Amino acid sequence: MATVITMPKLGLTMTSGSVAKWHKKEGDRVEKGEVILEVSTEKITYKVEAPESGVLRKILVQPGTKVPIGTPLCIIAAPDEDISELLKEAPTAPAAEKPAQPEAKPAPVAAKPAGEEVLIKATPIAKKIAKEQGIDLALVTGTGPGGRIVEKDVLDFIERQKAVAEAKPVAKAAPLKRIALSDVRQVIAERMSTSWQNSPMVTLNVDVDCTLLKKLREDLKSSFKEKGLNLSYNYILMKACAVALKEQPMLNSYLEGNEVVLYDEVNIGLAVATEEALLVPVVKDVAGKNLYEIASDGDALIEKARKGELAIDDVTGGTFTITNLGMFGVRDFTPIINPPQCAILGVGEMKDKPCVCDGQIVVKPMMTLSLTFDHRIVDGAQGAMFIRRVKELLENPLLLLAVLK
């Protein structure tokens, strides 16, 4: 029996996807479980497997074409099976977009012939000079009574023409380099624009004294290394955020119509830069895990992201996101919410700075946190209490150890 493969829905907010690549061509034999094509979303390139064995009889969507979820992509059937009815039912997918062609410019309108100068109002001396110099009076602007062209108008026109002739020609600018957006980048652009336009965002910044946080990491780093794990500051931040999110659950929610839906678990996405795009793998149930478990899951996800091996489950289900630009020397910034989530935490560079402590100037490792939240769901006070709690846990990590499970 013939099988129609459609564009899969790979996430809660996914409405469309693009065909990135076909691994088979029409007429090829395919086996059940064999990868036949790849589709791209804003989060991942997903390999679609054949649900049944057969022959790839018809490809309905070409690479680079964006289509809604549920759109038929291809038909797999027996070599001699009649698929004419399926072809009639399958909607025609739009072709891949081509760059817009520049509009043809209209040809310049020719100047009036000199023979029509009888219709132009000019003084006799102006006409005489124009005739001697071969000037079309239709190109001269008159400043005399009623717009009449006078001698000075013609002489000024001659001077302007000389200045133009003597000017050096302007070098033609080289064409600018253009880079087409990848399928993933196009969807990211669309989602970020939608988030910026639809969510009234507020960003709060706090400075965190990382003295005890650095000591905690140094004390624990060797034990993590023995287990083959990297104790990143991001993992400690995840745990601190999970504790604060449990205390301020409105930041762990999303808006659906006129209702706020609270998530049961705290699943935190960590933005990871790859060569192709920014990916956000998700560590699940952070509130219910200890630092070892968070580090184990986080290390595995980051490795898969850099190898391009993330599965759909690895990048979906996030309820809150952390994005860290500190390694680039960025002090603070305004992160944009990753919909449908309602909040995101930006992490800046940890740097030694002079601080006033008990009336004395001392140097301490400081870091700026930037919390952006959707003001439709979260009030300023709730956002402030959340980021204050995260700051408290990071500045007093023994409090964090008490809830590490």
- With vertex at residue 237, the alpha carbon angle to CA 279 and CA 260, rounded to the nearest 5 degrees, is 70
Stretch(es) of the chain classified as CATH 4.10.320.10: 114-156
Q: What pLDDT, on a 0 to 100 scale, did the predictor assign at position 254?
A: 96
> What fold is seen in the domain 199-401?
Chloramphenicol Acetyltransferase (3.30.559)
Alpha-carbon distance 125 to 118, whole Å?
14
The contacts of residue 348 (CB under 8 Å, 6+ apart) are 325, 326, 330, 331, 332, 333, 367, 368, 369, 370
Measured CA distances, 341 to 12, 184, 198, 398 (Å): 11, 19, 13, 30
Half-sphere exposure of 346 (CA within 13 A, CB side): 23
Q: What pLDDT, on a 0 to 100 scale, did the predictor assign at position 217?
A: 94
Q: What pLDDT, on a 0 to 100 scale, did the predictor assign at position 228?
A: 94
- Give 10-residue mean pLDDT values along the chain (405 residues): 86 78 93 91 80 93 89 92 85 54 47 50 87 86 84 88 70 81 76 88 97 94 93 96 97 95 96 76 95 95 86 90 94 94 97 92 96 97 98 92 61
Helix (H) or strand (E) holding 44: none
Which pair of tokens denotes residue 19?
């065909």
Q: What pLDDT, on a 0 to 100 scale, did the predictor assign at position 229?
A: 94
Q: What pLDDT, on a 0 to 100 scale, did the predictor assign at position 404?
A: 52
Alpha-carbon distance 348 to 329, whole Å?
8
Q: What pLDDT, on a 0 to 100 scale, did the predictor assign at position 283?
A: 97
CATH number, span 3-89: 2.40.50.100
CB 392 within 8 A of CB 399: yes
Stretch(es) of the chain classified as CATH 2.40.50.100: 3-89
Sign of CA dihedral 227, 237, 46, 257: positive
Residue 18's DSSP bridge partners are 40, 66
Q: What pLDDT, on a 0 to 100 scale, did the predictor assign at position 12?
A: 60
Stretch(es) of the chain classified as CATH 3.30.559.10: 199-401
Alpha-carbon distance 344 to 337, whole Å?
6
- Which letter, b or e, does each residue of 320-356 get, where b requires 16 or more Cβ atoms within 10 Å of its Cβ? bbbbbbbeeeebbbebbbbbbbbbbbbbbbbeeeeee
Alpha-carbon distance 184 to 40, whole Å?
6
CA neighbor of 236 nearest in space, from 250, 249, 221, 247: 221
- CATH superfamily, domain at 114-156: E3-binding domain (4.10.320.10)
23 is catalytic: no
Choosing from 28, 219, 352, 375, which is the catalytic residue?
A: 375
